[in-house]
Structure 1
Amino acid sequence: MKAVHFGAGNIGRGFIGKLLADAGIKVTFADVDEKVINLLSTLNTYNVKVVGAECKTEAVSGVDAINSTSDDLVSLVSETDLITTAVGPNVLVIIASKLAQGLALRFDANNEKFLNIIACENMIRGTTFLKTEIYKHLDEKYHEKAERLVGFVDSAVDRIVPPSESDDPLEVTVESFSEWIVDEQQFKGEIPVIEGMTKTDNLMAFIERKLFTLNTGHIVTAYLGALAGHDTIKEAIDDPIVKDQVKKAMQESGEVLIKRYGFERDAHNAYIEKILGRFANPYLHDEIDRVGRQPIRKLSVNERFIKPLLGTIEYATDNQMLLKGIACSF
C-alpha cells in the first residue's frame, strides 16, 4: 500500500507518517522545505524520540519525499492508495488545487481503485473542509467518480509534538500518548489496518472531547502561565494556582461533553487527570509561545474557547474559568 502525506514537519514525521510507516505502508512526504525533502529522499529514514514513563528512540524507515509544488506530485496522487495531511488548517486551501489535479489525472487514466483522504488537523471535520476546497478546483465532470471512488474521512488527532532540541534536523520528539480516531462510515473500500488508528461511528463525540479537554486545557495553561511569568507548559502546570484554574476550566468544558454525549463522569474526570499529567511531562520542553500562538484563530466560533463556552450557555452550566481564559488571551 502507498500513501502520500502532506506535511513533513514535526507532527507529520512524528505522528501520522510514523504510524503509516510502522504499518508497512510506503510513505512519501510532500512538503516545501527543500532541506527536509532532500534529507528524507536521500536517507529514507529518520528517528523519533518517544518520551513518557520510559524514553526510547525509534527509527522510521522506507520513506521518501517530494516537493509539494512539483508536477511530479500530481502523478503521485493519481496512483496512490491513501492521502493524509498534517499541514495546518490554512494550508489545506493551498494543497487543494494539487489534489484536484491528481484526482483529474487519476480519473482520466480510468483508475478505478478506491482512494481515501484523511486530513489530520486540529480542526473540526477538516477532511470535509478539504473536500469542499478540492471540489472548487475539480471539474464537475469528475464529481461523480470522486463521490464513488474517493473517501473523504474526517478524523480527530491528539499528540503533543514540541520542537525537537536535537542537532539532527530530521529527529522528532513526541510524547508516548497518541490518539488518531477516524470516521469509519466515510471510507471507500477496505479500511486499512493501522496500529494507532481507531475507528468509530460517533466521531463528533471524540472530536469535541479532544478539543474541549486537551486543546482547551492547553491554551488556558499557556495564557495563564504567560501572565504568571512562566516560559513552558510544564512550568505553568507545576504552578498550583495555574493548575487549579486549568482543571476548573476543563471541568467546565467537560460538563458540556457529559450532557451532550453522555460521557461517564468519573471516566471523563480520569481523562482530565491524564491530560494534566501529559502537560507535566518532564521530557517535553513545550514553550508557551508555541501553544499560545495564533490567538485570533483560536478564538473563532468552532475553536477551543468559544465552542465549549457556547455549550455552557446551551446547558446553563458554569463557565467562569473559560471566560477568564478568554480574557487572558486578550
Structure 2
Amino acid sequence: MKAIHFGAGNIGRGFIGLQLVKSGYDVCFVDVNPELVDALKFRAAYEVGYAAEGMANETVTGVTALNSLTESQTVIEAIAEADLVTTAVGPALLEKVAPLIAAGISQRRGDHPLYVIACENMIGGSSHLEKLVGRETDVTSAIVYFPNAAVDRIVPLQRHDDVLYVEVEPFFEWVVETKQLPSDYPILKGVTYVDDITPFIERKLFTVNTGHAIASYLGALFGKETIAESLQDVRVRRGVQTALYETGWLLLEKYGFDAKTHSAYIQKNIKRFENPRIHDEIVRVARSPIRKLGPSDRLVKPARELMDRGIEANGLALGIAAALTYFDPNDSESSELKAFIDKNGIEETVVTYLDLRPDDRLSQLIMSQYVQMNDSVNSIA
C-alpha cells in the first residue's frame, strides 16, 4: 500500500508518517525543504524518540521523499498511484498542495479508491481541502473520499544533530469520521473511527488548543520561554484551568460528555503541557495570533457560545486579551496585529479581527482585561 504525506516536518515524521508506516504503508513524504527530502531519499529511514522515561526510540523504515518544487510531476504521478494522501502542512498551506493533489486525481484510472485526510489543527480540514481541490479538477472523475479528522500530539520545535530525528510526547489521538466512507474503508493503526467527528474536534480544539494557546499568551505576558515553565506560574495555571472548565461546561452542554471523564481529560492535558522533557517554546505555540483569534477558532468561538448561553467567559476573555498583547517581531501576524492596535485602538481591533460588536458583553470583558494588562501585569492575577 502506498501513502503520500505532505509535510516532512516534525509532525509529519513524528506522528502521521510514523502511524502510516505502522499501518503497513510505504510512505513518500512531500516537502519543499531540500535537506529533509534529500536525507529521507538517501536513508529511507529515520528515528523517533519519546519525551518520557523508559520509552525506547523507534526506527521508521520504508520511507522516501519528493520535493514539491522541483519534482512536481513525479509527485502528481505518485498521487495517481497512491492509496492514501495525508497532509500536515498547516491550514494556510493547504491551498498550496491542493493543485498537486488535484492533478494527481485527474490522472487516476480505474476504480481504485483514494482517501485524502487533512491532519491539520482546524475544523473540517479535509472538507476544506476537498473544496480547494475541486477548484482545480472534478473530484467526481475518480473515486476519492475526503474524511474529516482530528489529530493531537505535541511535537515541539527542536534541533538535533540528526536532521531527521524527532522527539514526540507518548500521547497521541487521531480521530477520523466515517459517515461518508464506504464500508470497506482502510483501518489505520492507532486511529479512532467515529460516525460524527464534530464533538471530538471541538473537544480537542476547545481543550488542547485553547489551553495551549492561553498558556502561551499568559506565559509570554509574564516573561516565560516554554509552556512547561508557564504552567509553573500559578497565575498562568489558574488562567488556563479557568478557561478549560468554561469550555468544558460548553462541551458538556453541547455534546453530553460525562462531567467526571471530561474533568480528567482537562487535567491530563494540563499534565501534558507541564511535561518537563518537552521543551515547547512559547514562540512556537503563540505564533499566528490572528488565526487563533479568529471568530471560529479556539478562543473566540467557545467564548461567544458561552456568552450566548448566559455564562460569562471570564477565563477565555483573559486568554483573548493576553493574545492581543502578544508581540513577536519575527511573526508576521503578530506584527500586523500590533500595528493595527497601535494605529486603531483595541476596540476597532476586536471588531475587525474577532468579528465582535464593541457593545457585546464579551467585547467589554476582553477590552477590560486588555486595559488592565497594559496598566499592570500583576493586576490580572
TM-score, structure 1 normalization? 0.95
Match of 2:100 in 1: 98
Give the secondary-structure state (helix, strand or coil) at the position aligned to 2:161. coil
TM-fit CA distance, 1:53: 4.7
Match of 1:134 in 2: 133
TM-fit CA distance, 1:54: 3.4
Give the secondary-structure state (helix, strand or coil) at the position aligned to 1:65. strand
**Structure 1 residue ranges without an equivalent (≥5):** none
- Partner letter of residue 115 of structure 2? N
Query: Distance in 1 between the 2:169 and 2:148 partners?
Result: 23
* Alignment of structure 1 residues 169-318 onto 2, 5 Å: 169-188=163-182, 190-318=184-312
Say whether the 8 Å CA contact 1:116–1:187 is kept in structure 2.
no
TM-fit CA distance, 1:34: 0.7
Match of 2:369 in 1: none
TM-fit CA distance, 1:68: 1.7
Match of 1:67 in 2: 67
Match of 1:5 in 2: 5
Say whether the 8 Å CA contact 2:133–2:139 is kept in structure 1.
no
In the superposition, relative to structure 1, how do residues 84 and 251 fare at CA in structure 2: closer, same or farther (>3 Å)? same
Q: Deviations over 1:275-309 (max 9, x none)?
A: 00000111100001110000011111111101111
Say whether the 8 Å CA contact 1:157–1:180 is kept in structure 2.
yes
TM-fit CA distance, 1:191: 2.1
Give the secondary-structure state (helix, strand or coil) at the position aligned to 1:185. coil
Query: Distance in 2 between the 1:165 and 1:57 partners?
Result: 17
- Higher Rg: 2
Q: Does 1:18 align with 2:18?
A: yes
Match of 1:79 in 2: 81
CA RMSD of aligned residues (A): 1.2
Query: Distance in 2 between the 1:163 and 1:290 partners?
Result: 7
In the superposition, relative to structure 1, how do residues 68 and 190 fare at CA in structure 2: closer, same or farther (>3 Å)? farther
Give the secondary-structure state (helix, strand or coil) at the position aligned to 2:123. coil
Q: Deviations over 1:22-69 (max 9, x none)?
A: 111110001111110010011000011112353421111110101123
Say whether the 8 Å CA contact 1:116–1:188 is kept in structure 2.
no
Query: Distance in 2 between the 1:254 and 1:116 partners?
Result: 33
TM-fit CA distance, 1:202: 2.0
Give the secondary-structure state (helix, strand or coil) at the position aligned to 2:254. helix
Give the secondary-structure state (helix, strand or coil) at the position aligned to 2:225. coil
Query: Distance in 1 between the 2:286 and 2:141 partners?
Result: 42
